[in-house]
Amino acid sequence: MDARIARSSVAGRVRAPPSKSYTHRAILAAGYADGARVEHPLVSADTRATMRAVEAYGGRVDRDRAEEYLDVEGFDGRPDTPDDVIDCANSGTTMRLVTATGALAPGLTVLTGDDSLRSRPQGPLLDAVRQLGGRAESTRDNGQAPLVVGDSTGGGGVSIPGDVSSQYVTALLMAGAVTEEGIDVDLETELKSAPYVDITLEVLEAFGVEAERTGRGFAVPGGQSYRAERYAVPGDFSSISYLLAAGALAADEGRSVVVEGAQPSAQGDAAIVDVLRRMGATVEWDRDAGELTVTRAALSGVEVDVGDTPDLLPTLATLGAAAGGDTRIVNCEHVRYKETDRVAAMATELEKLGAAVTEREDELVVHGDDSDLRGARVEGYHDHRIVMALSVAGLVADGETTVEGAEHVDVSFPDFFDALAGLGADVHRVD
C-alpha cells in the first residue's frame, strides 16, 4: 500500500497511541504472573507477536472488542515448552524478551521471524543464556534467528555488551526474577538506549518485582513472583514525535496541534520536547492533563545525541531537512541495527526529496540551508518509523509525496494516517 501526501497545513487535537514498549513489557509481565488486566494497550502487529508468545508458553490473552484492555492468564513464572515454533514476525522486542522466557522452559523453544528480524543480532543474548547454564543456539551459527533455547536456564551472573541492544538487559531482568538465584548483569560497554531499561524497571515495580542498578550493570533477585491486578499503559512518545514534528513544521497559521495522551513516564523519547524547543519551536506541556501543544515555527538545526533515543532519528532527520542550518545526529551507529538501517534509509530517501545529507558511520548530518523539499516517490523499507517520518516530510514538500509500504505503520501506530487526515492533512492511501 502507498500513502500519498500533498503539502498541507494541520491543526486540531489528536490522541497519541499507547506505548509499544510498555505494552510489550506489560503483556509479558502479566504472562510471568498468574494473570493481570493490561489497560489501554497498543494492539499492533508487534504486540500481537508478544501475545502469541505468551500463549505459546502456556498463557492466554483475551481482548475486548474495543481493544481497550487485555485480560492475560499467565503461566505464573513457569513457562511450558511450546508445541510449535514461535513466529515473532517483525518484532525485535518480542524475540529478545521471549528468548529469555524460552530459556526457562524444560524443553527447547524455537523462535523465528521475517527476513528483517532474521538479520538482526541476537548473539550476546544467546551467550548470556549459555553463561547461565542453558542451551542457546543460532540454527545458522551466525548469532541470528532462527534461535533454539531452553533446558531450564538457572540464575547467576552474566557479562554482556551494552552497546548493541538494551533489550538483552530487559529480557534477562524479566526472566531472572523467577529463577532461584536471580541474575546479575555485568555490562562490558556503555549501555545504549538506557531509558528503555528504565521502562522495564518501572513495569517490574508495578508488578511487585524488585530490580536495581548496580555499579556495572543491573541485578534482579530470584524467587520473586509477578503480581498485579491491572496495569495501565501510557502514551507512546516515539509516536508522539511524528505528531509534534507535524505541528512544528506544518501547523496552520495562528493555530496549533494538541497531542493528548502525553503523560510523563520513563520514556527517553520524551526528549523530543526539549529538542524541538532547542530548534526554536514553541511547545507547551501540561503534564497533569497529559497534553502537548505545538505551533509552527522557523526551526534551526541543532546537534542531538541519540545514544539513548535511537527511535527519534527518523523524526530528527525530517525536522533537519526543513530547518535552517545543519542538524547533526550523532552517536547513531546502533540505529543501523533496527528493522532496517535507519541511518542509511533516511539519508537515501531524504535525498530523493531534495534534502542535502552527509552520512557517516556514527553520524547523520542534514544540511537544511541546502535542502529544498519537493514531492517524490520514496521507499518505506517495510519500517514503520521510516514510513511515518517521510510522511511528515511530505507535509512540507512541494507537490505530492508517495511513500511506499504505508501498511507498516500497523507495527506501532495503526491509525497514523487517520490521525494526520483528522488534523487536516491531504493524505490518501492507495492499494
Q: Could you list the active site residues?
A: 311
Q: Is 120 annotated as a binding residue?
A: yes
Q: Is 338 annotated as a binding residue?
A: yes
Q: Is 166 annotated as a binding residue?
A: yes
CA distance 88 to 96: 10
Sheet holding 86-87, edge to edge: 86-87, 108-112, 147-150, 135-138
Asked if 419 and 426 touch (Cβ cutoff 8 Å), the reply is no
Buried b or exposed e, range 223-244, using 16+ CB within 10 angstroms: ebebebeebebbbbbbbbbbbb
Q: Is 167 annotated as a binding residue?
A: yes
Q: Is 20 annotated as a binding residue?
A: yes
CA distance 356 to 365: 9
Q: Is 92 annotated as a binding residue?
A: yes
Burial class (CB in 10 A: 0-12, 13-18, 19+), 262: buried
Q: Is 342 annotated as a binding residue?
A: yes
Asked if 23 and 235 touch (Cβ cutoff 8 Å), the reply is no
Q: Is 165 annotated as a binding residue?
A: yes
Peptide bond into 146 cis (omega under 30): yes
Q: Is 48 annotated as a binding residue?
A: no
Q: Is 21 annotated as a binding residue?
A: yes
Q: Residue 150: enclosing H or E segment and its boundaries?
A: strand 147-150
Q: Which residue has the cell 505468551?
A: 54
CA distance 302 to 380: 26
Q: Is 192 annotated as a binding residue?
A: no
Which residues are part of a known binding site for 3-phosphoshikimate? Answer: 20-21, 25, 165-167, 193, 311, 338
Residue ranges of the annotated binding site for phosphoenolpyruvate are 20, 92, 120, 167, 342, 385
Task: Indicate the annotated binding residues.
Answer: 20-21, 25, 92, 120, 165-167, 193, 311, 338, 342, 385
